[in-house]
């Protein structure tokens, strides 16, 4: 089967066979996320090719002997497991417990834009922050992939949403996603009240001082990126604010007992997309899935100017 290595070279690999709870998925479309670029850099000059990619939509081609949630021919979408080979290949193995049914209202490219960001935002709000209706959340990075779906999920949760965006294009996008208020890069001076929750979907270090100033006493903060330097926690500690991290690969990496929750939440997101409560976040599509287009997609992502999601489709 065709696959693309972390070095942006096209390689041939044996077609894998599913066992246990694994699905063999014929990949129709993939999305790019910051994890792809970070893992590519981390792999560096690894002696063996590594297949990256953790966002896909496709068709179940075969199933392991313990699979109970899906059947051959089903259309699915998922974000995969960072400890296993990625989905930048014609066929891909993935545990059914982290797979959802593809939304019927979306094509494969539109569906591939959703899973990683939806899982991340869902787990941030409902599993980490345990948000309560009627409160206010600040989403830092409102026009990015996680922010785009995060704004919408926060509104479904009954929150008042303040989102950050700095360019006319990204401001318009954040508003279109449903943000109640959009503030610029210097958001600390633009927000006049403490906020109950802060979800930082951007780099931590540059925003940490503002986070400490804006979080409400006994508020909650969730981060999806690690800090690069030691952080001064005095302001956050003085307010008895809680700080937690979200990594959507935790459940699959550690095979947690509640791993199937990602299957359930992806099915719920699919229902909301099909009913119109959520809308897709795809902004740009490249075709076909090949080394040149994957290289271009990584470059766009690393430029820091992408709005919404970027997907590659078709082999």
Q: Where are the domains of the chain?
A: 2-114+250-313, 120-245
Q: What is the pLDDT of residues 48-84, one digit of tens each?
A: 899 999 999 999 999 999 999 999 999 999 999 999 9
- Is the confidence at residue 44, as pLDDT, over 90? no
pLDDT at 45 over 80: no
**Taking 90 as the threshold, does the pLDDT of residue 282 lie above it?**
yes
* Residue 180 in this model has a pLDDT that exceeds 80: yes
Structurally, what CATH architecture does the domain formed by 2-114+250-313 represent? Alpha-Beta Complex (3.90)
For residues 137 and 198, is the Cβ–Cβ distance under 8 A?
A: yes
Each residue's pLDDT tens digit, 291-310 = 999 999 999 999 988 999 99
241: pLDDT strictly greater than 80: yes
pLDDT of residue 103: 98
Instruction: Identify the pLDDT of residue 46.
Output: 77
**What pLDDT sits at residue 243?**
98
Structure tokens given for 127: 């599993």
Q: Kindly state the percentage of the chain with pLDDT values over 90.
A: 96
In the CATH hierarchy, which fold is given to the domain comprising 120-245? Answer: Rossmann fold (3.40.50)
**pTM of this prediction?**
0.97
pLDDT-derived band at 100, boundaries 50, 70, 90: very high
Predicted confidence at residue 193, as pLDDT, reads 87
């Amino acid at each position: 089967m065709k696959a693309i290595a972390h070095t942006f070279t096209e390689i041939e690999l044996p077609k894998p066979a599913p066992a246990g709870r694994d699905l063999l998925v014929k990949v129709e479309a993939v999305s790019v996320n910051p994890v792809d670029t970070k893992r590519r850099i981390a792999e560096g000059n690894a002696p063996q090719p590594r297949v990256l990619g953790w966002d896909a939509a496709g068709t179940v081609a075969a199933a392991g002997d313990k699979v109970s949630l899906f059947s051959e021919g089903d259309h699915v979408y998922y974000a995969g497991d960072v400890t296993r080979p990625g989905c930048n290949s014609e066929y891909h193995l993935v545990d059914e417990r982290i797979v959802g049914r593809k939304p019927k209202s979306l094509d494969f490219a539109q569906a591939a834009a959703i899973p990683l960001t939806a899982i991340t935002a869902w787990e941030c709000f409902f599993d980490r922050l345990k948000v309560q209706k009627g409160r206010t959340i600040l989403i830092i990075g409102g026009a990015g992939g996680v922010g785009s779906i995060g704004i919408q999920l926060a509104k479904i949760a009954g929150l008042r949403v303040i989102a950050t965006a700095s360019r006319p294009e990204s401001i318009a996008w954040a508003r279109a996603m449903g943000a109640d208020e959009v503030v610029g890069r210097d958001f600390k001076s633009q927000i006049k009240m403490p906020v109950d929750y802060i979800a930082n979907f951007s780099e931590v270090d540059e925003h940490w001082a503002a986070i400490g100033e804006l979080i409400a006493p006994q508020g909650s903060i969730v981060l999806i990126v690690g800090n690069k330097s030691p952080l001064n926690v005095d302001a956050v500690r003085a307010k008895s604010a809680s700080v937690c991290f979200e990594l959507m690969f935790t459940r699959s990496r550690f095979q947690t007992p509640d791993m199937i929750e990602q299957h359930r939440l992806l099915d719920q997101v699919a229902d909301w997309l099909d009913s119109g409560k959520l809308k897709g976040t795809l902004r740009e599509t490249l075709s076909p899935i090949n080394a040149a287009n994957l290289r271009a997609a990584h470059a766009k992502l690393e430029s820091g100017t992408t709005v919404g999601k970027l997907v590659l489709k078709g082999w």
